Structure 1
Amino acid sequence: MKPSIIAAILVTAASAGAAQAQTVMRCSHQLPPAHHIALVVDKWAAEVEAQSEGSIDVQVFGADSLVKANDNILAVAKGEIECAFSLNFQWGKTLPIMNVTVGPYTMSSIDAWKKWPTSEAAGYLEAKLLEKGVKNVAWMFQTNVSVFTSNGKFMQTPDDFKGVKMRGLGPAFDRGLEAMGATTVSLPGSEVYQALATGVIDAAVTDVAAAWSRKYYEVQDHFVVVPVLAAYLHGYVTPGFYDGLTDAEKQALQVAGEMAAGWAIDASVEASASAPDQLRSTGAQVHVATDAENEAFKAVMQPAFAAGFEAESGADGKELLDLIAKIQ
């Protein structure tokens, strides 16, 4: 066999070996492609690949295209997929302390969110997540500005919620909505548009930027902008998968996660600032809640949430709240 042919075979074999050595990491999330945090997830994926010098092949599947939103946590914990991203309130009763930031008017400071990824509070949650079968690798702040959406009129006082059927976010937060007279329905974000369009629900509460990216303005015509909760998306992997990574690959995940935390804050601040005018541009009616209106919401919602959060999270919730106080 000619030396040139032998060399070509060796090069091909080496390339095949390198390809086989590449670690595939499939990551599922629920966000639509245009969502500002979906774009951050894509950027994070590219950064993981760059930091690992291509040894990790990150394959992102958004918009519920690989695993449904409510199934992501279990799929990763069982090792059916390697990675997923979930919103904090999707942990529900499995790990209710994840809902600490959705306490009405509890953690709306951007400065606090800048400190979050390396804080004791985040470390505390990471340990609890590991106990539930997932290894956290990224914190992505999504919003501290929400909207109450509706048709026909603004929902700008607690009385406006009486008799309204609306999408809730989780047991503790929903107590605040129910205290104002609403009936809540549990739905993943990807199903809310259709539920609003068909009248299954009358109204919703969501990130102001999500109201734009998910095109709620096509099925709702009134939006009240409120700093009622803070939400985050977080990325996590199967612990067994993580343990099998090289030290360099683990470092790549850490560096990319730290960078993505900053990108998420920048993207979320920009999206929250522009979304109200984007909604107005469609002809939707947008009202920014006044201080007095926010105080009226807070007076009803906060005690209801606090009672529910305490009942669900016990001593762990109290400890976490104390840690969060350090970065406020």
Structure 2
Amino acid sequence: MLALLAAASATALTVLPTDAEAATRMRCSHQLPPSHHIAKVVDRWAAEVKTLSDGNLDVQVFGSDSLIKANENILAVAKGDIECAFSLNFQWGKTLPLMNVTVGPYTMSSIEAWKKWPDSEAAAFLEERLLKKGVKNVAWMFQTNTSVFTSKGKPLLKPADFQGQKMRGLGPAFDRGLKAMGATPVAIPGSEVYQALATGVIDSAITDVAAAWSRKYYEVQDHMTVVPVLAAYLHGYVNPGWYNKLTDKDKAALKKAGDLAAGWAIDASQEAAASAPADLESKGVKVHIATPEENAAFKAAMAPAFAEGFADETGADGRKLLELVNKLQ
């Protein structure tokens, strides 16, 4: 009898699913360190997805390249190796250069335009193109419209100062603007820039002003020029096959959480951008806010080169997307 009861109990344990087994696993990879303001938004988004799905979506966030390297996230999701990832727009590079429309020098620096972005025609246009590349977009997270040109020993205040600088690049089209000022762009993932600066692999960099703080650039660079030269965003995406198997409730949870996160990201980014310059100065960095005249000089040097590169890379789709972006201004 005891043997029969034991057998029956064992059978029941194998049949009844645990909570972990019942939930749908959703592994999400990204490159940002835990202290980055958008990394915190991603964590908040993950918690919201769990809540809205009543725990059915088991969102597991892996930051700091701890699961998959930043430059491998897109392929990993498209192949179904993982369910979800977050990438910066310029990481799409030549795979989908349309994603770089906002890094055009001084193209989309308006916060009001970013508030309209998630439900805009421009966002929908990109979501269609992303799906053709094998990923389903689920979240837009504005990261910055305030960047810094970082350097050591002397500031970068005018185009001529970039002459001979080995500098971290952001992608083919944007890098044309750096080359136009005499710099030599070097492709380096964000998580590796600090080490490259520390060891002299590169001389200078461009990054989000808040990232310069969270990634501790102040330890290896002593001058930073604050410029509204580009707008960058992180976006979340999932494997379409995995997404199509979700219940309507879980799909709705992802949509709602994505909409909320878009607003959280704008708030967090504005707060981080406001505090970062003073934080950097407290570490001994000489921070210079570019004047209107200096910004005009940077735009004159960089914008034509970017426009030429973006047109070459994107063709008719690029022209259409620029029209849609202009509607947001």
Q: One fold, TM greater than 0.5?
A: yes
Aligned residues: 326
Shift of 1:20: 1.7
Shift of 1:15: 6.5
Shift of 1:325: 1.2
Q: 1:280 maps to which residue?
A: 281
Q: Distance in 2 between matches of 1:135 and 1:252?
A: 15
Q: 1:85 maps to which residue?
A: 86
Runs of 4+ with >3 A deviation: 8-15
Identity across matched positions, percent: 73
Tell me how large the CA RMSD over aligned residues is.
Answer: 1.8
1:57 equivalent in alignment to 2:58:
yes
What SS is found at the alignment partner of 1:210?
A: helix
* CA-to-aligned-CA distance 1:290-324 (integer Å, 9 cap, x gap): 00000000001000000000000000000001111
Q: Distance in 1 between matches of 2:96 and 2:214?
A: 28
1:178 equivalent in alignment to 2:189:
no
Q: Distance in 1 between matches of 2:168 and 2:316?
A: 29
* CA-to-aligned-CA distance 1:221-264 (integer Å, 9 cap, x gap): 00000000000000000000000110000000000000000000
Distance 1:293 1:242, change over 3 A: same
Alignment of 1:15-34 (within 5 A): 16-34=17-35
Shift of 1:79: 0.3
- Runs of 5+ in structure 2 lacking a partner? none
* CA-to-aligned-CA distance 1:169-190 (integer Å, 9 cap, x gap): 0000000000000000000000
Q: Distance in 2 between matches of 1:10 and 1:121?
A: 54
> 202-211 vs 15-24, which deviates more?
15-24
Shift of 1:11: 9.7
What SS is found at the alignment partner of 2:281?
A: helix
Q: Distance in 2 between matches of 1:243 and 1:16?
A: 23
Q: 1:35 maps to which residue?
A: 36
What SS is found at the alignment partner of 2:287?
A: strand
1:217 equivalent in alignment to 2:218:
yes
Alignment of 1:1-328 (within 5 A): 16-328=17-329
Q: Distance in 1 between matches of 2:239 and 2:70?
A: 16
Q: Distance in 2 between matches of 1:85 and 1:215?
A: 22
- Runs of 5+ in structure 1 lacking a partner? none
Counterpart amino acid of residue 252 in structure 1 = A
What SS is found at the alignment partner of 2:185?
A: strand
Shift of 1:19: 3.2
What SS is found at the alignment partner of 2:17?
A: helix
Shift of 1:12: 6.7
Shift of 1:18: 4.1
Shift of 1:14: 8.3
Shift of 1:16: 2.8
Counterpart amino acid of residue 106 in structure 1 = T
Q: Distance in 1 between matches of 2:236 and 2:294?
A: 35
Compute the TM-score of the two structures, normalised by the length of structure 1.
0.96
Q: Distance in 2 between matches of 1:72 and 1:125?
A: 18
Q: Distance in 2 between matches of 1:108 and 1:253?
A: 27
Distance 1:30 1:294, change over 3 A: same
What SS is found at the alignment partner of 1:191?
A: helix
Shift of 1:9: 9.0
* CA-to-aligned-CA distance 1:64-121 (integer Å, 9 cap, x gap): 0000000000000000000000000000000000000000000000000000000010
Q: Distance in 1 between matches of 2:174 and 2:12?
A: 59
